[in-house]
Amino acid sequence: MRVVLAEDLFLLRDGLVRLLEAHDFEIAAAVESGPELTRALAELEPDVAVVDVRLPPTHTDEGLQCAFQARRSRPGLPVLVLSQHVEQLYARELLADGSGGVGYLLKDRVFDAEQFVDAVRRVAAGGTAMDPQVIQQLLSRRAADDRPLARLTPRELEVLELMAQGRSNAAIAGQLVVTERAIAKHTSNIFAKLDLEVSDDDNRRVLAVLAYLDQGR
């Protein structure tokens, strides 16, 4: 699996290269700036891009905008965005482009090799990998003022949070130490209470939940 990596901090970039190579990824390019990222994505056509939000020369949202530009040229290009802090605006922009795999992780997750590599693979396969802190903020802000979300039980909120991270029913069952059948029932209840159509497409299901939680901001 070929990866284009964009990170301006040398030590972190080098560490990510070593980590990904150790898990059988091929690093097509490891760059440190927006212009380099744009060229690499256009010329190398990787299977997935792992991109820091803030890159030179602007150090604002250069990496994210380069990723958007690449996805306009190549719809569905899987992109996993890394950020130092939870920035809900960036998460919304990324999720608004509903084609192909997308992910948004805090850089702290990089230090959990298994979790980070799983997120890269999930996004490359067309799935979604959202940082738990992003999901928690969305849930907490919506729960305070949204009547449909308030209909959910505490257990259903737990399931919804894990679902929104991109986890399958089997993975959620393992996390909560219950049966997969129980999770399927919770999932069905969640969609009914939130008036969301149930879909077999995991990625569309997650994006639908997040779009609902994030509406009206």
What is the DSSP code string of 138-201?
HHHHHHHH-HHHHTS-HHHHHHHHHHHTT--HHHHHHHHTS-HHHHHHHHHHHHHHTT----S-
Last residue within a domain, chosen from 113, 130, 147: 130
Instruction: Please compute the mean of the pLDDT values over residues 124-131 and round it to a whole number.
Output: 87
Please tell me whether residues 160 and 124 are part of one structural domain.
no
One domain, residues 9 and 101: yes
Q: How far apart are CA 67 and CA 62, in angstroms?
A: 9
Question: Which range marks the domain in which residue 114 is found?
Answer: 2-130
Considering only residues 138 and 36, tell me which one the structure prediction assigns the higher pLDDT: 36
Q: Tell me the pLDDT band of 144, cut-offs 50, 70 and 90.
A: low
- Per residue in 86-121, pLDDT (tens digit) is 776 777 777 776 666 888 899 988 889 998 999 999
Strand, coil or helix: 205: helix
Q: Hey, is 28 helix, strand or coil?
A: strand
**Whether 148 and 199 share a structural domain:** yes
Residue 181, pLDDT > 90, answer: yes
In this structure, the answer to whether residues 108 and 185 fall within a common structural domain is: no
Confidence at residue 216, expressed as pLDDT on a 0 to 100 scale: 46
Q: Of 110, 130, 150, which marks where a domain is finished?
A: 130
Residue 108: DSSP 8-state: G
Say what the pLDDT of residue 167 is.
81
Tell me: pLDDT of 195 over 90.
Answer: no
Cα separations in angstroms, 59 against 41, 62, 83: 19, 6, 12
**Average pLDDT for 54-61:** 92
Query: Is residue 217 pLDDT above 60, yes or no?
Result: no
Same structural domain for residues 112 and 60?
yes
In sequence order, what are the residues at sequence separation of 6 or more whose Cβ sits closer than 8 angstroms to the Cβ of residue 170? 180, 183
Mean pLDDT on 185-197: 82
CATH (domain of 156)? 3.40.50.2300
Please tell me whether residues 141 and 202 are part of one structural domain: yes
Residues 43 and 141 reside in one and the same domain: no
Number of structural domains in the chain: 2
pLDDT of residue 94: 74
User: For all residues of the chain together, what is the average pLDDT?
Assistant: 85
pLDDT at residue 57, rounded to an integer: 94
pLDDT at 191: 81
- Asked if residue 147 and residue 121 are part of one domain, the reply reads no
> Within this chain, do residues 188 and 122 fall inside the same structural domain, yes or no?
no
Asked if residue 116 lies in contact with residue 149, where contact means CB atoms within 8 angstroms, the answer is no
pLDDT at 45: 92
- Of 71 and 31, more confident: 31
Residue 108: what pLDDT?
A: 87
In the predicted model, is pLDDT for residue 162 greater than 60?
A: yes
| 118 lies in the same domain as 144 | no
Element spanning 214, H or E: helix 202-214
Among 99, 130, 161, which residue terminates a domain?
130
Give the pLDDT confidence score for residue 117 in this predicted structure.
95
Q: 104 with 24, same domain?
A: yes
Alpha-carbon distance 129 to 167, whole Å? 8
Q: Are residues 38 and 98 in the same domain?
A: yes
